[in-house]
Amino acid sequence: MNNETKPRTESRMPLYLQVAKLMRQKIESQQWRFGEQIPTLDNLVAEFEVSRITLRAALNLLEDNGIITRTRGLGTFVAKDLSEQRWFRLPNRFDELVKVVSPLKIHMLPIEPGTRVQDPAFGFDGNSTGYQRLRRVHYRENTPYCLIDIYLDQTIFDSDPEGFSQTPVVPQLAGRSDITIHQARQVLRITVSDKETASHLHIGVGDPIADVCRVFKDPSQKILYYAHIQYPAQLIQIDTDLLQNDAPQHPALT
C-alpha cells in the first residue's frame, strides 16, 4: 500500500479523522465517483490497515456531512460530487475584498453578552469598549463561505443598524464618504475546525480551515472594524501577483 494513502500512527490527529480525510481525497480526485458504491468494509480494512471501529467512525463522519450514504443490504455510495466544488479566491486587496463580499448572503448567529476587540495571537490591539459585535455565517448561493465574528465601532453601527445587521459590512464601510479607512490589514493562518465551526461551515471536525483576522483603522489608529473569519480551506485559493509592487488603493483608503 502507498504510504501516502495510509494513516500515520505518529500523527496527533485521531485515526478515524485521518481515514475520513483520505476517503474524502478519493472522492475529490474521482477515484470514488459520485453515485458509485465504495469498497466493502473488509476491503477498506485491508486498504487502510485500521480496525473496523475506526472505519465505522470515519464513515459516520462522512455520512454526517452528506458525502456518503449507507443503505442496509445495498452498501455505501458517494452522495456528493466533491470534484465540482468551487474554489473561492481569497481577496488580498481592499477593492477585491469589496467585490467578493458584496453579493454574499447572511445568516445571523446569536452571541453571548460582552465584546472584546483585541486578539493577542495576531497583535491587533484596540479599545475593548464601544463596539457592536455581529456574528454570522456568510453564504455564496447555498454554500457556506465563511464563519465571521465582527466588532464594529458602535457609532458607525448606530448610524445604520439595520443595514449593518442585514448586509455585509465591508462594502458599506467602503461606500461611506464620512468614514476614512487609513489602514487595512489581514493575517491568515491554516488551522483545523472545531465542532462549532464545522457545524456552521458544513465540514468535518478537524478539517483544515483558513483562519483570518482583519482590521481597519482610521488616521488616529482607532480600530473601526475588526473581524475573525474562518473559511473552509478546501474552497479557498490564494492568488498573489508577486511582481505587483504598486497596487492601486481603493478610494476608501487614504
pLDDT tens sequence across 186-227: 999 999 999 899 999 988 788 889 999 999 999 988 899 999
Phi, psi of 182 (to 5 degrees): -85, -30
Position 230 scores a pLDDT of 95
Using CB atoms within 10 A of its CB, is residue 48 exposed (0-12), middle (13-18) or buried (19+)?
A: buried
Unique residue bearing C-alpha cell 465551526: 197
- Averaged pLDDT of the chain: 83
Position 128 scores a pLDDT of 47
Using CB atoms within 10 A of its CB, is residue 230 exposed (0-12), middle (13-18) or buried (19+)?
A: buried
Q: 109 by DSSP, 3-state: which?
A: coil
Give the residue, 124 or 78, on which the prediction is more confident: 78
43 pLDDT higher than 90: yes
**Of 29-38, 114-123, 227-236, minimum mean pLDDT range:** 114-123
Q: Report how far residue 254's alpha carbon sits from residue 141's, in angstroms, rounded to the nearest whole number.
A: 33
Q: Report how far residue 252's alpha carbon sits from residue 254's, in angstroms, rounded to the nearest whole number.
A: 6
Q: Cα 12 to chain center, whole Å?
A: 22
pLDDT-based confidence at residue 250 (cuts at 50, 70, 90): very low
Residues 60-106: tens digit of each pLDDT: 999 988 899 998 889 999 998 877 666 677 788 899 899 989 999 99
pLDDT-based confidence at residue 129 (cuts at 50, 70, 90): low
Give the residue, 4 or 45, on which the prediction is more confident: 45
The whole-number average pLDDT for the span 137-157 is 90
The whole-number average pLDDT for the span 114-127 is 51
The whole-number average pLDDT for the span 156-169 is 94
